[in-house]
Structure 1
Amino acid sequence: MSVTLTDLPRIVRQLTPHISTADTLPSLCGIYLEADGTHLYAAATDRYTFALTRRETAETEPWTALVTRPDLTALRALFPTRRRPADLTLTHHRGCTRTPDGMLTIGDGTRSLSLSANAALARSFPKWRPLFATALAAEPHQDTEALYNADFLARWAKAADRHQPLTTWSAGPGKPLLIAAGPDFLGLHMPVRASDHKPDAPARQRQDRAALRTVWADTLAPAPTRRLKAA
């Protein structure tokens, strides 16, 4: 059950910013992999942002795995992102008595890395299909302000190639921001909850569009046209 990828380091780079750092949520502390027979999916989330990408593959039996942070460090060391794209073979080995969680082998023909597939953790990864299906089905609609954490927005810098734009939609201020980078990368970005920001919250936390128009009116007003006087 092998899959050949030319850009596995890029997939890792796209998803790493979204991996949870909470030790209490071990199933979120890595990159989730899932093969369904036609695609290999890779995903990561810390519940605030959720990144998903896919690659077409030859037919293979379905399997799932979770590559933890320490294993990703080993993977980056062996196959650094600065190297030119190269075919990497990702092979999933089902669990047995000696390795009940299954194994993953990643190699380029000369070097190889063996990792646990962490099957138990993979089974606890969030069900991503209904989340993304709901977000894609929702019609874009936003007629009031939405609040987003700036640090979390920076995570999407790794999603796209250089000069590739991100496309975004939102079904409303309380709904996740849907992000696309090309046809094979999707993201969800949860807004800051409005309940966390009271109507009388300081302006530095919650901005009102009408109030901003007022305070910026003088600055943004058209400059007066100077007319020359007749001699």
Structure 2
Amino acid sequence: MSVTHADLPRIIRQLTPHIATDDTLPPIHGIYLEATGTHLFAAATDRYTFALTRREAPEPEPWKAFIAHADLTALRALFPTRRRPADLTLTYRRGCTRTPDGRLTVGDGARALDLSAHASLASKFPKWRPLFAAALAAEPRQDTEACYNADFLARWAKAADRHQPLTTWTAGPGKPLLIAAGHDFLGLHMPIGLPDHKPDTPAHAQQDRTALRTTWADTLNPAARHLKAA
């Protein structure tokens, strides 16, 4: 069972920022693949952000696989990003007694890389369908402030093509920010909690709307400051 993709390197670029860096969490220390018969889905998460992309890929049978982090390093070395995309064939072979995890082969006609499909890891990857279904079904509701890690926000730069906008919404406080790039990429970004507003909380940490309005009032309303001084 094989599928040809000219943009397999792009799929990897889109998902790499979201791979868990902790190698003690092998089920999320790489990229998950799932063929459904009509599409190839690829996903990665470190539990703070979750990225999902899809490509049309008609195949006779569904399958699941996992590309481990170490295998991604080998894959990038053999098939680096090119100015002109070259078709890469991704072939899946089911497991047998000798190779129970199955095999994945990536090739361009001249070279090929044979990898374990890591079926045991794929079976432990987080259940992504209910998470994304709930986020998509929820109506946008942002009636209070939300905080996001700036480093994690930078991960989404790889999601879209150049000049392609990102669409975002959230269902409210504590809910993930849903991010879409076109119709074939979805992301979930978990917020971080607001700091407790105690008397000894540093001023820079008090980022609620009331505090921001107060600290910026004089700068943004010079006329009001002048009248007050008079």
Regarding TM over 0.5, the answer is: yes
Q: CA separation in 1, counterparts of 2:50 and 2:145?
A: 22
Q: Tell me the equivalent position of 2:111.
A: 111
Offset, 1:222: 5.8
Offset, 1:219: 1.4
Q: CA separation in 2, counterparts of 1:206 and 1:87?
A: 51
Amino acid at match of 1:156: W
Matched, 1:159 2:159: yes
Q: Tell me the equivalent position of 1:97.
A: 97
Q: CA separation in 2, counterparts of 1:222 and 1:167?
A: 35
Q: Deviations over 1:142-197 (max 9, x none)?
A: 11110111111111111111111111001112100000011000000000134xx2
Q: CA separation in 2, counterparts of 1:83 and 1:98?
A: 39
Aligned length: 222
Tell me if structure 2 keeps the 8 A contact 1:88–1:108.
yes
Residue segments in structure 1 that go unaligned for 5+ positions in a row: 225-231
Q: Tell me the equivalent position of 2:170.
A: 170
RMSD over equivalenced CA pairs, Å: 1.4
Offset, 1:85: 1.1
Describe the SS at the equivalent of 1:216. helix
Offset, 1:102: 0.4
Offset, 1:54: 0.1
Q: CA separation in 1, counterparts of 2:152 and 2:166?
A: 15
Amino acid at match of 2:9: P
Q: CA separation in 2, counterparts of 1:193 and 1:216?
A: 23
Q: Runs in 1 of length 4+ with deviation above 3 angstroms?
A: none
Tell me if structure 1 keeps the 8 A contact 2:2–2:59.
no
Describe the SS at the equivalent of 2:205. coil
Amino acid at match of 2:25: L
Tell me if structure 2 keeps the 8 A contact 1:31–1:44.
yes
Is the alpha carbon distance of 1:206 and 1:52 closer, same or farther for their aligned partners in structure 2, counting shifts above 3 Å? farther
Q: Percent identity?
A: 77
Matched, 1:189 2:186: no
Q: CA separation in 1, counterparts of 2:209 and 2:30?
A: 39
Write out aligned runs for 1:118-133 (5 A).
Answer: 118-133=118-133
Q: Tell me the equivalent position of 1:44.
A: 44
User: TM-score, structure 2 length as denominator?
Assistant: 0.93
Q: Deviations over 1:95-141 (max 9, x none)?
A: 01111110000111111110000000000000000000000000000
Q: Tell me the equivalent position of 1:198.
A: 196
Q: Tell me the equivalent position of 1:7.
A: 7
Offset, 1:25: 1.2
Describe the SS at the equivalent of 1:40. strand
Q: Tell me the equivalent position of 1:78.
A: 78
Amino acid at match of 1:74: A
Higher mean alpha-carbon deviation, 72-81 vs 125-134, is at: 72-81
Residue segments in structure 2 that go unaligned for 5+ positions in a row: 225-230
